[in-house]
Structure 1
Amino acid sequence: MAARQQLLITAKRWDSSCKTIVEFVPNETMADLERSLLSRYQIPLSADQLFTQSVLDKTLTKENYQARLHDLLYIEEIAQYKEVSKFNIKVNLQLVTSFMLTGISVGAKYAQNGQLFARFKLTETLSEDTLAGRLVMTKVNSVLVLPLVRDGYSNHPPPGVKERVYEAVIEEKTKDYIFLRICKNCVEELGLIPDRELQVELQFQLNRLPLCEMQYALDRIKDNGILFPDIGLQPTIPWSPNRQWDEQLDPRLNAKQKEAILAITTPCSIPLPPILIIGPYGTGKTFTLAQAVKHILRQDESRVLICTHSNSAADLYIKDYLHPYVEAGNPHARPLRVYFRNRWVKTVNPVVQQYCLISNTHITFQMPTKEDILRHRVVVVTLSTSQYLCQLDLEPGECQRTYVVISGRRLWWTSSAFKQLLF
């Protein structure tokens, strides 16, 4: 392990009771709403508060749905926290002022305002082949840094004085490296110099925000009716030869895909429960939904919200389907793609950028206004960015169709996101 300059160790979690934590400033990634969510949804301190009757009930019902999912989310957070807490990592950080971007973007990132970047190499101990490694790679966006002196020991302060640890933001994750952004305060206090190495102990910090956003989604559900439709009523999907063999439907659609489109495009006056399109990889689910979007947009004043789990899935709808459709002479189908406001524009596909709101600096994205949303008949978001729509006071019915495109491993909480989608 020493040859790899990396060592996993078990250690007590660092907090204000045992360390002096120097926070990363300015924290540009955290908005007021996000801060309030982190403060509002704290893990219950006792088992009695966590394991309530809703969790112990054998069945999920309309009455216990929200309370049960609240508790399950807290249990999930505890499990993630426990796994990430299993180790700290001792590593040599390589301090740099810039680094090259990988993937679809071309260019480099440069440290500004007295900050520095620091990178360390990944090994099998932090690969996605392990549960802890997967959590670090997907659920962690910051670390606490404890500088070490020679032989891997920290410089213990005088009695009664707590050790200082510094918060650093994870700037980029690649196949081989994790890049950290070191704030100006840390650079100045430690006298850090570019192109040098710094031996440190790192403690990964779980990103609680996604789970808090799910809690927020649950609290905003006003009517569970759409989540628990009356199963005693047999839904009837209107059928007619004209709809089944509509000449404007893509001839590549098979019978099952056409059946799905008939259900999706059923007039809103006919009540139907949420429609699930389920099938193995490569069976044309995305293709079917994209064709349904085109079909719906033939109806005057219709609007569609496409919500996916990942950015790559959201961008796929634009690159492969909506962009060619717009270019073919259908400007009414021009989508609005909502990206996380602090995402770097250059990391997004150039085709997708055409459909985004970009800030005046042309470096990051801009959040949509209500007018921006209403100017577009197709809005494409992810589950995480869909929360921005909740803050716009959109009236019910301003979006006639909602597509939730999501992987099976996330299906368990999909319904809690519907509050964000049905606007």
Structure 2
Amino acid sequence: MTAAGFPGSTVFCAMCKQQVPKSTWAAHSSTYDHRRREVVAAYKATFEEAERDKQGVEVRPVVGGLDFEIVELAGAQHGVHKTLVIRSTSALSRLTIVDINVSAKPSNMPCPFRAATQGGTRAIYNQGTNIVVTLRHDQRGRYAGRIEIVFENESHRRFVIIREVRATIGEAVEHDALKATTPYVKPQRVPWRRGQEIKLKFSRLNDCKPTVLKDGPTAGQRFNVHFKMNRIPLRRQHQALAATPNAASLPIVPFNPCIAGNAEQLQAIRSILQVRKGAAPFIIFGPPGTGKTVTLVETIRQILARDKEARILACAPSNSAADILARRLNSLSNTELFRFYAVSRRRELVPDDLLGYTYMDGQGHFSVPQVADLATFRVIISTCGSASFAYGVGLPPGHFTHIFIDEAGQATEAETMTAMKTITTPSTQLVLCGDPKQLGPIITSSVARELGMGVSFLERLMERDVYNERLWRGRTLVKLVQNFRSHRAVLTFSNEQFYNSDLQACGPARVIDSFIGWNELPNRKFPIIFHAVSGKDERQASSPSYFNLDEVLVGRDYIRKLKSDRRFTTSDEEIGDITPYNAQARKFREALKFANIGTSIKVASVEEFQGDERKVIMLSTVRSSKELLTFDAKYTLGFVANPRRLNGKNSLEHSGHDVDTLFAMNSGHHSGEGPLDLSIDPLWRRFLNYVALNNGWRGIPISWDPHAPVHDGGYENELREQGVEDITDFMQRMQNYLGDDDQSAHDIMEGQINADGVWRERE
């Protein structure tokens, strides 16, 4: 019985802990959530019953419990043991062990545990019979299993007692150094009324958040704290959106000789040089590693050489991408090129070689020269969000003959408008450079995403017929297809999934094949490793960010092996670790520092790698349990929620990486979630199949057939059905061994519900 009626119109559902109208009780009790809770409660009750000692039999470990805790990898490879002692409390009873079954949790995981009676003895005596439990495995991670011991009494009646077993394979010292220092506590909302005084306790603030006080508050001090959003970027976007804009073959001698033989790059440059004034924005569609920024820079130099009156504004969504533009234009003098930084930009974040292209006021803050001086620069470079400074300080609309926006697919449409709408006239030539298949704008508001703010101006334009790459090639856009940065194996998956197999691997062998033959590659000719780790998602203190120590330590080991291999000399600057969570990035840096290796390796999110070039990229997905993946999908976090993030990771095109070797690590919760739950996403499943079929897989074996065709969706139902099947199988086995003196699982479940439930509705 899962519900009780009350005087009145409602029924209390103890399973769901809520009042349900009597008229809808039948429908409520048949809902998926209600039935799932019933199954879980029944499973819990059956499990607890199976764990009880019964019929005069006691099962106890010799020392401690059946948690091996942290076992060194070398010890786990050799094998470590724990002992269970089984005693009969009745000297007259005759009991024997019929069977010992050991299974992994979940069932599709490899089981590193074994169990057998010591000396083969099966009879149970009151002095004790020993069962030796052995852990033997060669992979780091966290593992859980279940030991089912089947007994038979003198009446040939069978019953079962189960025990759970756990182990973590790794280094105890490192786990202790990197573990969560304080338990995670979910932040609580503080009720507030106008005029009410609220006490705030400040400790250190992480992730580059602004500090409240330089030296921190001291005991006894009181402050009036005002929280104020920086509205300047939003005001610039509103200003831009409200503004009304004022109503053959061309010989090229490239400054950069590397593009002389690239037909698509040359075509893009010719098209931009010949585009008529007032034409629609021209698009350089640049997939991974095809040199879109190189093309943009070459175009700017060609314009400057041909038109002495040209004035160019070049923008990018981030400072890192804008810095790359400025550095690649460093052939210009500091009287020709001006790099604008917002006044809030910290000087230590600006590359030293660009400081000469900036302007600072008397207090050492970044600023703007007088309008007359500003107008003399031939090229001005800024982020999109700050680009309207030129209009704000007095440069007139039409001052810039050309406006270039690099990585335009990552800018919101409002940011793009900020860069161009206030300062353009019908004669201004606009050029957008980017890839709508890559990372889109960063939108933190779900409401804004639902309203379409996650669609960039570049993507919206390319959905129009006039930008059809087959029909309008060379007139409104050019698609670059020659990739010079990635090994063919790294490029192939994204090429097939996103680019109609148009991309061509053209990189020199000495670069893209530089890690072919490395001993740690499962396939020496395939420079991609997917390492499946049995790990645990954790948080600490009040931080909402997740980390996974097991993935951290596996990744650290790969870096250690790479750095110690003299045949493949690799500097810290050639290695990058991408993870979507700040806590994981911090733990990875701590692990590298603790091991004193790779301390200069960049560890950051996909977006922060924009513009970087790395030979080796390591990806840590951190989270993969089904519940967390569902959360990520809702709020577009992690790598499952956004196919462009997988595209950006796999081909690293979001920044034009020079990728020779790619590591990907995926994990799952050690106590029940499969470590390969990323496979519920069809795109990820295709990528995992691609790696497995090319023998690039390591760690926990793949649990499905990689040869099977991938269909669009439904894999979460397969995992759910597998979980239900495991539960059903376990409960059936347990019920077969329940004796007459055992309380039924249903009775136990109902007793637990009654203990927790509130059965009387208070009037």
Please, what TM-score do these two structures have when normalized by structure 2? 0.29
Of structures 1 and 2, the one scoring higher in RCO (CA 8 A, sep 6+) is 1
